[in-house]
Amino acid sequence: MLLRRHFLTILALLAVPTRVLSRKGGDGSSSDGDSGSSSGSSGSSDSDDTSSSTPSSGGLNCFDTHRLDFDDLQPSHYDRYNREPRRGHASAYSDWDGVFFKGSASFKYTIQTPPNNLTEGDIVSSSFITCPIGTQSMRMLGAAWVAAKAPTPAGPLNPITLGFKAWKSNVRVSDIDYSYSVCEDLDLMRLTTTVDWYNETSVEKAMDAVALNVTQAADNKNKILFDGVYDLKDWADSERSSMEPARYDNAGLSDQMISLPDSLCSEYSNLGKILIGWPTGTHINGSMTNETLELGFSGSTIAGFSHRYPWPDTDTKVNVTFEFTFAGSYDAANSSQVVLPGASSHNASLITFERATGSATATSLSLYSVLLSLLVSVGVIFV
Protein backbone atom coordinates (compact mmCIF):
# COMPACT_ATOMS: atom_id res chain seq x y z
CA MET A 1 0.00 0.00 0.00
CA LEU A 2 2.86 2.35 0.87
CA LEU A 3 4.59 1.57 -2.44
CA ARG A 4 1.38 2.32 -4.32
CA ARG A 5 1.05 5.70 -2.58
CA HIS A 6 4.61 6.68 -3.55
CA PHE A 7 4.03 5.55 -7.12
CA LEU A 8 0.87 7.65 -7.49
CA THR A 9 2.66 10.70 -6.04
CA ILE A 10 5.54 10.40 -8.53
CA LEU A 11 3.11 9.83 -11.40
CA ALA A 12 1.21 12.99 -10.49
CA LEU A 13 4.40 15.04 -10.45
CA LEU A 14 5.45 13.74 -13.85
CA ALA A 15 2.06 14.59 -15.30
CA VAL A 16 2.99 18.30 -15.25
CA PRO A 17 6.30 18.65 -17.16
CA THR A 18 6.80 22.35 -16.47
CA ARG A 19 10.50 22.23 -17.37
CA VAL A 20 10.23 20.18 -20.56
CA LEU A 21 9.03 22.85 -22.98
CA SER A 22 10.16 26.46 -23.17
CA ARG A 23 9.07 29.38 -25.29
CA LYS A 24 11.85 30.48 -27.58
CA GLY A 25 12.49 33.89 -29.05
CA GLY A 26 15.16 35.65 -27.01
CA ASP A 27 13.17 36.70 -23.95
CA GLY A 28 15.81 35.32 -21.62
CA SER A 29 13.91 32.07 -20.96
CA SER A 30 15.68 28.75 -21.19
CA SER A 31 14.72 25.11 -21.27
CA ASP A 32 16.80 24.42 -18.17
CA GLY A 33 14.43 26.04 -15.70
CA ASP A 34 12.50 29.06 -14.53
CA SER A 35 14.02 32.49 -14.03
CA GLY A 36 14.11 32.13 -10.28
CA SER A 37 15.85 28.77 -10.18
CA SER A 38 19.53 28.10 -9.58
CA SER A 39 21.95 26.89 -12.23
CA GLY A 40 23.91 24.89 -9.68
CA SER A 41 27.40 25.42 -8.35
CA SER A 42 29.19 28.10 -10.34
CA GLY A 43 32.59 27.73 -8.79
CA SER A 44 32.86 31.52 -8.60
CA SER A 45 31.83 34.35 -6.34
CA ASP A 46 31.15 36.74 -9.24
CA SER A 47 27.41 36.12 -9.21
CA ASP A 48 24.66 35.03 -6.88
CA ASP A 49 22.09 32.63 -8.30
CA THR A 50 19.41 33.66 -5.82
CA SER A 51 16.92 36.43 -6.48
CA SER A 52 17.57 39.73 -4.80
CA SER A 53 16.10 43.18 -4.47
CA THR A 54 18.75 45.85 -4.92
CA PRO A 55 18.34 49.63 -4.68
CA SER A 56 19.03 51.16 -8.09
CA SER A 57 20.81 54.46 -8.69
CA GLY A 58 17.45 56.21 -8.65
CA GLY A 59 16.69 54.96 -5.15
CA LEU A 60 14.05 52.46 -6.29
CA ASN A 61 14.20 48.75 -5.56
CA CYS A 62 15.26 46.56 -8.46
CA PHE A 63 14.30 42.88 -8.50
CA ASP A 64 17.20 40.82 -9.79
CA THR A 65 17.30 37.08 -10.52
CA HIS A 66 20.80 37.37 -12.05
CA ARG A 67 19.28 35.79 -15.14
CA LEU A 68 20.99 36.64 -18.44
CA ASP A 69 18.90 39.25 -20.23
CA PHE A 70 18.78 39.52 -24.05
CA ASP A 71 16.37 42.45 -24.36
CA ASP A 72 18.98 45.11 -25.17
CA LEU A 73 20.73 43.29 -28.01
CA GLN A 74 18.53 44.35 -30.93
CA PRO A 75 17.90 47.85 -32.35
CA SER A 76 14.42 49.21 -31.60
CA HIS A 77 13.31 49.16 -35.24
CA TYR A 78 13.14 45.34 -35.02
CA ASP A 79 10.44 45.50 -32.32
CA ARG A 80 7.55 45.83 -34.80
CA TYR A 81 8.70 42.66 -36.56
CA ASN A 82 9.32 40.32 -33.62
CA ARG A 83 8.40 41.65 -30.16
CA GLU A 84 5.14 43.44 -30.95
CA PRO A 85 3.54 40.44 -32.76
CA ARG A 86 4.46 38.30 -29.74
CA ARG A 87 2.55 40.44 -27.22
CA GLY A 88 -0.39 38.31 -26.16
CA HIS A 89 0.88 35.51 -28.42
CA ALA A 90 3.94 34.17 -26.63
CA SER A 91 4.62 31.42 -29.17
CA ALA A 92 4.37 33.67 -32.25
CA TYR A 93 7.19 33.20 -34.75
CA SER A 94 8.88 35.89 -36.84
CA ASP A 95 11.34 35.74 -39.72
CA TRP A 96 13.31 38.41 -37.82
CA ASP A 97 13.61 36.63 -34.46
CA GLY A 98 17.27 35.90 -35.13
CA VAL A 99 19.63 33.54 -33.33
CA PHE A 100 21.53 33.86 -30.05
CA PHE A 101 25.09 32.93 -29.08
CA LYS A 102 26.72 32.80 -25.64
CA GLY A 103 30.38 32.42 -24.74
CA SER A 104 33.57 33.77 -23.18
CA ALA A 105 35.80 36.66 -24.19
CA SER A 106 39.21 38.19 -23.57
CA PHE A 107 39.83 41.95 -23.39
CA LYS A 108 43.45 43.13 -23.64
CA TYR A 109 44.28 46.82 -23.24
CA THR A 110 47.11 49.27 -22.66
CA ILE A 111 46.60 52.62 -20.92
CA GLN A 112 49.13 55.33 -21.72
CA THR A 113 49.42 58.53 -19.73
CA PRO A 114 49.98 61.21 -20.70
CA PRO A 115 48.26 60.61 -24.07
CA ASN A 116 50.60 60.32 -27.03
CA ASN A 117 48.87 63.20 -28.84
CA LEU A 118 48.93 66.39 -26.81
CA THR A 119 48.69 68.73 -29.80
CA GLU A 120 44.88 68.79 -29.74
CA GLY A 121 43.50 71.71 -27.76
CA ASP A 122 40.99 69.71 -25.69
CA ILE A 123 43.45 67.05 -24.48
CA VAL A 124 44.17 67.50 -20.78
CA SER A 125 47.06 65.68 -19.13
CA SER A 126 47.88 65.36 -15.44
CA SER A 127 51.13 64.51 -13.70
CA PHE A 128 49.13 63.18 -10.73
CA ILE A 129 47.32 60.36 -12.57
CA THR A 130 48.48 56.76 -12.17
CA CYS A 131 47.24 53.78 -14.22
CA PRO A 132 48.31 50.14 -14.69
CA ILE A 133 51.54 49.89 -16.69
CA GLY A 134 51.90 47.62 -19.70
CA THR A 135 49.37 45.33 -21.38
CA GLN A 136 46.52 44.26 -19.10
CA SER A 137 43.82 41.66 -19.71
CA MET A 138 40.54 40.51 -18.22
CA ARG A 139 38.18 37.63 -18.82
CA MET A 140 34.62 38.40 -19.82
CA LEU A 141 31.37 36.68 -20.72
CA GLY A 142 29.32 37.76 -23.70
CA ALA A 143 26.02 37.30 -25.51
CA ALA A 144 25.25 37.99 -29.17
CA TRP A 145 22.18 38.17 -31.40
CA VAL A 146 22.25 37.93 -35.21
CA ALA A 147 19.22 38.45 -37.46
CA ALA A 148 18.32 39.17 -41.06
CA LYS A 149 18.04 42.83 -42.09
CA ALA A 150 14.64 44.25 -41.15
CA PRO A 151 12.37 45.48 -43.99
CA THR A 152 12.26 49.04 -42.59
CA PRO A 153 13.47 51.70 -42.09
CA ALA A 154 15.42 52.42 -45.26
CA GLY A 155 19.13 53.00 -44.87
CA PRO A 156 20.89 49.82 -43.66
CA LEU A 157 22.55 47.74 -46.38
CA ASN A 158 24.13 44.88 -44.42
CA PRO A 159 22.33 41.53 -44.93
CA ILE A 160 22.50 40.96 -41.16
CA THR A 161 22.40 42.94 -37.94
CA LEU A 162 24.63 41.91 -35.04
CA GLY A 163 23.95 42.88 -31.43
CA PHE A 164 26.53 42.15 -28.75
CA LYS A 165 27.33 42.83 -25.10
CA ALA A 166 30.02 41.64 -22.68
CA TRP A 167 30.74 42.01 -18.98
CA LYS A 168 33.66 41.15 -16.69
CA SER A 169 33.20 37.75 -15.04
CA ASN A 170 35.08 34.69 -13.83
CA VAL A 171 31.94 32.54 -13.97
CA ARG A 172 32.35 29.50 -16.20
CA VAL A 173 30.48 29.53 -19.51
CA SER A 174 28.22 26.66 -18.46
CA ASP A 175 26.79 28.96 -15.75
CA ILE A 176 26.42 32.06 -17.93
CA ASP A 177 22.61 32.02 -17.63
CA TYR A 178 22.94 33.23 -14.01
CA SER A 179 26.02 35.45 -14.34
CA TYR A 180 24.24 38.71 -15.13
CA SER A 181 22.49 41.55 -13.30
CA VAL A 182 19.82 43.92 -14.58
CA CYS A 183 20.23 46.10 -11.47
CA GLU A 184 23.97 46.77 -11.76
CA ASP A 185 25.78 48.56 -14.57
CA LEU A 186 27.72 45.46 -15.62
CA ASP A 187 28.18 45.92 -19.37
CA LEU A 188 31.65 47.07 -20.38
CA MET A 189 30.95 46.53 -24.07
CA ARG A 190 27.78 46.99 -26.10
CA LEU A 191 27.47 47.11 -29.87
CA THR A 192 24.89 46.90 -32.64
CA THR A 193 26.24 46.98 -36.18
CA THR A 194 23.07 48.83 -37.25
CA VAL A 195 21.91 51.76 -35.11
CA ASP A 196 18.69 53.76 -34.70
CA TRP A 197 18.25 57.51 -34.81
CA TYR A 198 15.24 58.78 -32.86
CA ASN A 199 12.88 61.65 -33.52
CA GLU A 200 11.58 62.26 -29.99
CA THR A 201 10.00 58.85 -29.21
CA SER A 202 10.05 57.03 -32.56
CA VAL A 203 12.79 55.70 -34.82
CA GLU A 204 13.29 58.20 -37.62
CA LYS A 205 15.98 56.34 -39.53
CA ALA A 206 18.70 53.74 -39.17
CA MET A 207 22.15 53.21 -40.61
CA ASP A 208 24.95 50.68 -40.57
CA ALA A 209 27.55 51.68 -37.99
CA VAL A 210 29.77 49.00 -39.54
CA ALA A 211 29.58 48.30 -43.28
CA LEU A 212 30.22 44.54 -43.28
CA ASN A 213 32.09 42.76 -46.04
CA VAL A 214 30.73 39.19 -46.00
CA THR A 215 32.62 36.36 -47.75
CA GLN A 216 32.61 32.56 -47.74
CA ALA A 217 35.46 30.92 -45.83
CA ALA A 218 37.98 29.04 -47.95
CA ASP A 219 38.33 26.18 -45.45
CA ASN A 220 34.60 25.63 -44.83
CA LYS A 221 31.92 26.24 -47.45
CA ASN A 222 29.26 26.57 -44.73
CA LYS A 223 31.13 29.29 -42.84
CA ILE A 224 31.17 33.02 -43.49
CA LEU A 225 33.78 35.64 -42.67
CA PHE A 226 32.91 39.30 -42.12
CA ASP A 227 34.86 42.45 -41.41
CA GLY A 228 34.40 46.20 -41.39
CA VAL A 229 35.25 49.47 -39.67
CA TYR A 230 33.09 51.29 -37.12
CA ASP A 231 32.21 54.65 -38.66
CA LEU A 232 29.41 57.04 -37.68
CA LYS A 233 30.98 60.18 -39.14
CA ASP A 234 27.70 60.99 -40.92
CA TRP A 235 26.17 61.54 -37.49
CA ALA A 236 29.30 62.92 -35.85
CA ASP A 237 27.81 66.39 -35.38
CA SER A 238 24.38 65.16 -34.28
CA GLU A 239 23.13 65.21 -30.72
CA ARG A 240 23.62 61.70 -29.36
CA SER A 241 20.87 61.88 -26.78
CA SER A 242 18.41 64.56 -25.68
CA MET A 243 19.30 63.76 -22.06
CA GLU A 244 23.06 63.24 -22.42
CA PRO A 245 24.37 64.88 -25.60
CA ALA A 246 27.82 63.69 -26.67
CA ARG A 247 28.09 61.40 -23.65
CA TYR A 248 31.25 59.76 -24.97
CA ASP A 249 34.22 61.51 -26.51
CA ASN A 250 35.01 60.43 -30.07
CA ALA A 251 32.18 57.88 -29.99
CA GLY A 252 28.99 56.79 -31.68
CA LEU A 253 25.58 56.80 -30.04
CA SER A 254 25.31 56.86 -26.26
CA ASP A 255 24.07 53.26 -26.07
CA GLN A 256 27.12 52.01 -28.01
CA MET A 257 30.12 51.67 -25.74
CA ILE A 258 33.43 50.16 -24.83
CA SER A 259 34.58 51.00 -21.33
CA LEU A 260 37.03 49.80 -18.71
CA PRO A 261 36.10 49.22 -15.04
CA ASP A 262 36.31 52.07 -12.56
CA SER A 263 39.21 52.47 -10.12
CA LEU A 264 41.83 51.32 -12.64
CA CYS A 265 43.35 54.80 -12.55
CA SER A 266 43.64 57.29 -9.73
CA GLU A 267 44.16 61.04 -9.50
CA TYR A 268 44.09 62.07 -5.83
CA SER A 269 41.30 59.45 -5.58
CA ASN A 270 40.13 56.49 -7.67
CA LEU A 271 38.63 57.53 -10.99
CA GLY A 272 35.50 56.20 -12.69
CA LYS A 273 35.15 54.02 -15.76
CA ILE A 274 37.39 54.78 -18.73
CA LEU A 275 34.95 55.70 -21.52
CA ILE A 276 36.41 54.44 -24.79
CA GLY A 277 33.14 54.59 -26.73
CA TRP A 278 33.35 53.18 -30.27
CA PRO A 279 36.14 55.18 -31.90
CA THR A 280 35.78 55.77 -35.62
CA GLY A 281 38.18 53.38 -37.31
CA THR A 282 37.75 50.51 -34.83
CA HIS A 283 38.30 47.29 -36.79
CA ILE A 284 35.60 44.63 -36.41
CA ASN A 285 35.88 41.12 -37.81
CA GLY A 286 34.46 37.67 -37.19
CA SER A 287 33.21 34.36 -38.51
CA MET A 288 29.99 32.38 -38.19
CA THR A 289 28.77 28.83 -38.76
CA ASN A 290 25.40 27.39 -37.82
CA GLU A 291 26.84 26.53 -34.38
CA THR A 292 29.54 29.12 -33.62
CA LEU A 293 30.22 32.85 -33.68
CA GLU A 294 33.66 34.44 -33.31
CA LEU A 295 34.24 38.19 -32.99
CA GLY A 296 37.28 40.45 -32.83
CA PHE A 297 37.53 44.21 -32.15
CA SER A 298 40.69 46.32 -32.09
CA GLY A 299 41.50 50.02 -32.03
CA SER A 300 43.05 52.96 -30.22
CA THR A 301 41.70 56.28 -28.96
CA ILE A 302 41.99 59.06 -26.39
CA ALA A 303 39.43 58.49 -23.64
CA GLY A 304 38.06 60.27 -20.60
CA PHE A 305 36.54 59.13 -17.31
CA SER A 306 32.97 58.78 -16.05
CA HIS A 307 31.84 60.58 -12.91
CA ARG A 308 32.45 58.64 -9.70
CA TYR A 309 30.28 59.86 -6.83
CA PRO A 310 31.03 61.69 -4.56
CA TRP A 311 34.35 62.78 -6.07
CA PRO A 312 34.51 65.66 -8.56
CA ASP A 313 34.78 65.13 -12.31
CA THR A 314 38.16 65.17 -14.03
CA ASP A 315 39.07 66.47 -17.48
CA THR A 316 42.17 64.30 -17.63
CA LYS A 317 42.50 62.04 -20.68
CA VAL A 318 44.43 58.85 -21.33
CA ASN A 319 45.34 56.93 -24.48
CA VAL A 320 43.86 53.41 -24.70
CA THR A 321 44.81 50.68 -27.18
CA PHE A 322 42.58 47.61 -27.05
CA GLU A 323 42.08 44.15 -28.55
CA PHE A 324 39.00 42.02 -27.86
CA THR A 325 38.08 38.45 -28.87
CA PHE A 326 34.87 36.46 -28.32
CA ALA A 327 34.01 32.81 -29.01
CA GLY A 328 30.35 31.83 -28.67
CA SER A 329 28.13 28.81 -29.26
CA TYR A 330 24.60 28.70 -30.66
CA ASP A 331 21.98 29.06 -27.91
CA ALA A 332 19.25 26.64 -28.98
CA ALA A 333 17.21 27.19 -25.81
CA ASN A 334 16.53 30.84 -26.66
CA SER A 335 16.63 30.78 -30.47
CA SER A 336 13.48 30.23 -32.53
CA GLN A 337 15.58 30.21 -35.70
CA VAL A 338 18.68 28.52 -37.09
CA VAL A 339 21.23 30.24 -39.30
CA LEU A 340 22.48 28.76 -42.59
CA PRO A 341 25.68 30.56 -43.63
CA GLY A 342 27.85 30.14 -46.70
CA ALA A 343 26.90 27.60 -49.35
CA SER A 344 24.04 26.26 -47.20
CA SER A 345 22.26 29.63 -47.52
CA HIS A 346 21.64 29.14 -51.28
CA ASN A 347 21.56 32.91 -51.87
CA ALA A 348 23.91 35.71 -52.88
CA SER A 349 24.03 37.27 -49.39
CA LEU A 350 25.62 34.02 -48.07
CA ILE A 351 23.26 33.86 -45.09
CA THR A 352 19.72 32.57 -44.49
CA PHE A 353 17.59 32.21 -41.36
CA GLU A 354 15.03 29.42 -41.00
CA ARG A 355 12.62 28.34 -38.31
CA ALA A 356 14.17 25.96 -35.77
CA THR A 357 12.72 22.46 -35.85
CA GLY A 358 12.70 22.24 -32.05
CA SER A 359 14.86 19.11 -31.99
CA ALA A 360 16.18 19.89 -28.50
CA THR A 361 12.64 20.29 -27.18
CA ALA A 362 11.53 17.12 -28.95
CA THR A 363 14.41 15.21 -27.38
CA SER A 364 13.43 16.38 -23.90
CA LEU A 365 9.80 15.51 -24.52
CA SER A 366 10.73 12.10 -25.89
CA LEU A 367 12.85 11.33 -22.82
CA TYR A 368 10.02 12.47 -20.58
CA SER A 369 7.57 10.17 -22.43
CA VAL A 370 9.90 7.20 -22.08
CA LEU A 371 10.31 7.75 -18.34
CA LEU A 372 6.58 8.19 -17.86
CA SER A 373 5.80 5.03 -19.83
CA LEU A 374 8.40 3.07 -17.87
CA LEU A 375 7.00 4.27 -14.55
CA VAL A 376 3.47 3.36 -15.60
CA SER A 377 4.65 -0.12 -16.58
CA VAL A 378 6.36 -0.60 -13.22
CA GLY A 379 3.27 0.72 -11.47
CA VAL A 380 1.03 -1.81 -13.17
CA ILE A 381 3.18 -4.56 -11.69
CA PHE A 382 3.07 -3.28 -8.10
CA VAL A 383 -0.38 -1.67 -7.87
Q: 36-77: per-residue pLDDT in tens?
A: 333 333 333 343 444 455 554 445 688 888 899 898 899 999
Alpha carbon distance 104, 176 (integer Å): 9
Residues paired with residue 287 on neighbouring β-strands, in sequence order: 225, 294
pLDDT class of 141 with cuts at 50, 70, 90: very high
pLDDT for 367 beyond 50:
no
Residue 46 has a pLDDT of 40
Q: Which of 66, 70, 69, 93 is nearest to 81 (CA)?
A: 93
Grouping H, G, I as helix, E, B as strand and the rest as coil, residue 6 is helix
Contacts of residue 67, Cβ cutoff 8 Å, sequence gap at least 6: 28, 35, 177, 178, 180
Q: What's the confidence (pLDDT) of residue 377?
A: 45
Does residue 80 surpass a pLDDT of 70?
A: yes
Q: pLDDT: is 354 or 129 the higher one?
A: 354
The amino acid sitting at 105 is: A
The whole-angstrom separation of Cα 93 and Cα 335 is 11
Q: Contact 66/48 with Cβ under 8 angstroms?
A: yes
Instruction: For residue 11, name the pLDDT band (cuts at 50, 70, 90).
Output: very low
What's residue 91's pLDDT? 82
C-alpha triplet 121, 126, 129: angle, nearest 5°: 140
Q: Does the pLDDT of residue 316 top 90, yes or no?
A: no
How many other C-beta atoms are found inside a 10 Å radius of the C-beta of residue 152?
A: 12
> Which are the contacts of 22, defined by CB distance < 8 A and separation ≥ 6?
29, 30, 31, 333, 361
In what helix (H) or strand (E) does residue 368 lie, and over which residues does it extend?
A: helix 359-382
Residue 217, pLDDT above cutoff 90:
yes
For residues 164-189, average pLDDT: 93
- State the alpha helices, DSSP H only, in 132-268: none
Tell me: pLDDT of 259 over 70.
Answer: yes
Q: How far apart are CA 338 and CA 356, in angstroms?
A: 5
Is pLDDT at 25 greater than 50 in this prediction?
Answer: no
Whole-number pLDDT of residue 349: 94
Mean pLDDT, the chain, rounded, equals 77
Q: Using the 8-state DSSP alphabet, how is residue 312 labeled?
A: P
Q: Which residues contact 113 (CB under 8 A, 6 or more apart)?
A: 125, 126, 129, 130, 131, 265, 316, 318, 319
Q: Which backbone phi and psi does 234 adopt, to 5 degrees?
A: -65, -25
pLDDT for 172 = 96
- Inform me whether the pLDDT recorded for 5 exceeds 70: no
Q: What is the pLDDT of residues 321-343, one digit of tens each?
A: 999 999 999 999 999 999 999 99
227 vs 374, more confident:
227
What confidence category does residue 313 fall into, taking pLDDT thresholds of 50, 70 and 90?
confident
What pTM value is reported for the model? Answer: 0.76
* Extended beta strands in the chain, E state: 52-55, 61-64, 99-112, 135-148, 160-168, 187-192, 194-199, 202-208, 213-216, 224-229, 257-260, 266-267, 269-270, 274-275, 283-288, 292-305, 318-330, 337-341, 351-355
Q: What pLDDT score does 163 carry?
A: 97
pLDDT above 90: residue 7:
no
Average pLDDT on 254-259 reads 82
Binned at pLDDT 50, 70 and 90, residue 94 comes out as: very high
Could you tell me the sign of the dihedral formed by the alpha carbons of 229, 234, 237, 241, in that order?
negative
- Over 70: is that where the pLDDT of 258 sits? yes
Count CB atoms within 10 A of the CB of residue 265: 21
Higher pLDDT, 159 or 363: 159
Spatial neighbors of 153 by CB under 8 A, at least 6 apart, are 77, 203, 204, 205, 206
- What is the C-alpha to C-alpha distance for residues 15 and 11, in angstroms, rounded to an integer? 6
Q: How far is it, in rounded angstroms, from Cα 100 to Cα 105? A: 16
Which helix (H) or strand (E) is 373 found in, with range? helix 359-382
What average pLDDT does the segment 206-233 reach?
A: 94
Q: Residue 200: which region, alpha, beta or left (left: phi > 0; alpha: psi -120 to 50)?
A: left
Q: Would you say residue 123 has pLDDT above 80?
A: no
Task: List, for residues 200-211, the tens digit of each pLDDT value.
Answer: 677 778 889 999
Q: Where are the domains of the chain?
A: 76-367
